Amino acid sequence: EVQLVESGGGLVQPGGSLRLSCGVSTFTFSTYWMHWVRQAPGEGLVWVSGINSDGSYTSYADSVKGRFTISRDNAKNTLYLQMNSLRAEDTAVYYCVRDAARPGGLDVWGQGTTVTVSS
């Protein structure tokens, strides 16, 4: 079974930083684009960022551009999200998601890791 396991969430003060990780097993990580999607408490899903298979292309939602950085280490089968200058509105469950590549969409989701930004 394909598995994505996020880690690194927690409580952080406004203005602080956090790095999320997503470990991958049972599929060839280096051939897939990957994404982060978040969901604030009681709210809907929001796409945050995506990265291509070799890490040479990235894209971000306007709300996180300049503060968050997506990256990957294909040798370690791990996806990252470095989050800086965190704000209360970044509080959410963050999901690591595999991109099935066209024609598919986001096909495999991790269980999510919770980030809480509060003083």
Partner 1 sequence: DIQMTQSPSTLSASVGDRVTITCRASQSISSWLAWYQQKPGKAPKFLIYKASSLESGVPSRFSGSGSGTEFTLTISSLQPDDFATYYCLQYNSYPWTFGQGTKVEVK
Q: Which spans of this chain sit near partner 1 (rule: CB under 8 A)?
A: 35, 44-47, 50, 59-62, 95, 100, 102-112
Instruction: Report in angstroms how near the CB of residue 119 gets to partner 1 at its nearest.
Output: 26
d(Cα 95, Cα 116) in Å, to the nearest integer?
14
Instruction: Report in angstroms how near the CB of residue 118 gets to partner 1 at its nearest.
Output: 21
Residue 101 CB: number of other CB atoms within 10 A? 12
Q: Which is nearer to partner 1, 78 or 113 (CB)?
A: 113
Residue 5 CB: number of other CB atoms within 10 A? 14
Identify any residues that bridge with 102 across adjacent strands, giving them in sequence order.
none
Q: Which is nearer to partner 1, 29 or 60 (CB)?
A: 60
